[in-house]
Amino acid sequence: MRQIAKVFILTCAVVLNGCSFYQADKQQGNVIKADEVAKLKKGMAQVQVRRLLGSPMLNDPFHASRWDYYYSIESQTKDDMQKHLVIYFDEKKEVIRWEEKN
């Protein structure tokens, strides 16, 4: 019986130690998909943009006519990725242009 207990404890120790080497991908911000960006149109209202892309990551009170969407992922198995989408609005709160920065 003691032999089984030793094997069980050793197996648990090996499994738990192996888990510490794996680190999950770190994802931050809004996921920016190309097909969603393709749906952006000049003249869209802020409400429509929010429905399409979600709330902006940064809503700067000093630049109320600009919304910033950031997305980054740090991966242990793939290349890291960072995206930055900036949407500009006019005084009627409608899209006038947008830029993708990487």
pLDDT in tens, 33-66: 889 999 999 999 999 999 999 998 877 788 889 9
Q: What pTM did the predictor assign?
A: 0.69
Rounded CA gap, 101 and 79, in Å?
A: 17
Distances (CA, A) of 87 to 22, 39, 61, 73: 37, 13, 15, 21
Q: Measured between alpha carbons, how far is 60 from 72 in angstroms, rounded to an integer?
A: 20
Residue 9: both structure tokens together: 């404890």
Q: How many other CB atoms sit within 10 Å of the CB of residue 43?
A: 10
Give the count of alpha carbons within 13 A of 50, CB side only: 11
